[in-house]
Amino acid sequence: MGLLLGLLLLDHLTVVTYGHPILEAPESVTGPWKGDVNIPCTYGPLQGYTQVLVKWLVHHGLDPVTIFLHDSSGDHIQQAKYRGRLQVNHKIPGDVSLQLNTLEMDDRSHYTCEVTWQTPNGNQVVRDKIIELRVRKFSVSKPTVTTGSGYGFTVPQGMSISLQCQAWGSPPINYAWYKEQTNNPEPIKVAVLSTLLFKPAMVADSGSYFCTAKARVGSEQRSNTVKFVVEGKDLPIFFIVLIISLCCIVVFIMAYVMLCRKTSQQEHVYEVARTHAREASNSGEAWRVGIFTGCCSSKEPSSQTPGNDYSEDPCLGQENQTIAWINSDYAHLLHTASTDYELLATKDTGVC
């Protein structure tokens, strides 16, 4: 008898030293039909107490049925009805809340959260809480508009940013985005998604926007209008003047190069003609190249000496010249036009 009293006293001292584990959970939770719900169940971890078992039970009829079990071997979903849409949180110590997705009307029931700990003296302590789950069909709430960055509703040009429309209600929830017009009271529909993406944002995207949301039940709800501003990147006046100056310099250089190239080509043509004339003279052959543009003098040259015979008489309409290579390798035509050309090349004498 004394031994039994001693053991009870020791157990009492252990409980006093380490305290009792306490589960905390609400009496009832309401979730949206076809939506998701979190059934809270938490406790404060105590030194010396080790969690060894977590159970979630649902009350159908008189006897509760285990739907979830977590032990040293892992998570186990006991009912096929809940597979794929039930999970229990393990990320935060002391949080064993139940997440139930895609609620159906027959999910309404009483759920029991049960936790078992091992005490420092090797005994086990069990605590539980019963929570009522209610399932309702909710009309959609008034949507709110947020941005996907810390810039708010004023952003620099070229940045990728999104406007997000969020509402709560029985899914599915259908969203739409509208942009207000300056000269027309009727807004323009710009998207039918919950997220309006600007990739990248341009100055023309600036304006007033709002979104709407519609659930399975209830009327369509509209958000407040937000003013979205995209700021352009203006160049300083110094850079603008510099760019214009550089463009003018480039144009001037190109024009100068083209003019020099044209002048060089003309000088090269006449130099070729004089060179071949000298070669013909050195070889002892009398080659003459006559250049006519339609009305040259027909007088005989005064001598038979080799060389180029250029007429000094003015010719009407003289606009074009033809230079022919004597060795027949190629001909270079300069300033081609409708004027008749005549090339006379004779070995001894030439007549115009």
Q: Please give the chain's pLDDT, 352 residues, in tens.
A: 344 334 333 343 344 444 678 999 999 999 999 889 999 999 998 888 999 999 999 998 778 999 999 999 999 999 999 999 999 988 899 999 999 999 999 999 999 999 999 998 889 999 999 999 999 998 999 999 998 777 789 999 999 999 999 998 888 899 999 999 988 999 999 999 999 999 999 999 999 999 999 998 889 999 999 999 999 865 556 666 778 888 889 888 988 888 887 776 665 555 545 555 555 455 554 444 444 444 444 344 444 444 444 444 444 444 444 444 444 444 444 444 344 444 334 344 444 3
Q: Quick one: DSSP state of residue 106? A: G
DSSP labels for 183-198?
S-SSPEEEESSSEEEE
Buried b (16+ CB within 10 A) or exposed e, 133-164: bebeebbbeebebebeeeeebebebeeebbbb
CA nearest neighbour of 40 among 29, 51, 53, 31: 29
State which amino acid sits at residue 128: D
What does pTM read for this prediction? 0.50
Secondary structure element (H or E) that encloses residue 275, with its range: helix 237-282
pLDDT at 297: 40
The pLDDT value recorded for residue 269 is: 53
- Residue 265's pLDDT is 63
- Cβ atoms 127, 22 nearer than 8 A: yes
d(CA 279, CA 292): 22
How many CB atoms are located within 10 Å of the residue 86 CB? Answer: 18
DSSP string spanning 297-328? --PPPS---SS-----S--TT---EEEE-TTS
**Three-class secondary structure of residue 242 per DSSP:** helix
Distance CA 93, CA 115 (A): 13
What is the predicted pLDDT for the residue at 294? 40
- DSSP state, residue 81: G
Beta-strand relationship, 124-136 and 28-32: parallel
**92-123: b (≥16 Cβ within 10 Å) or e:** eeeebbbebeebeeebebebbbbbbbebeeee
CB 212 within 8 A of CB 220: yes
Give the per-residue pLDDT at 217: 85
SS3 340: coil
Give me the phi and psi of 153, to 5 degrees please. Answer: -100, 10
Check residue 289 and give its pLDDT: 43
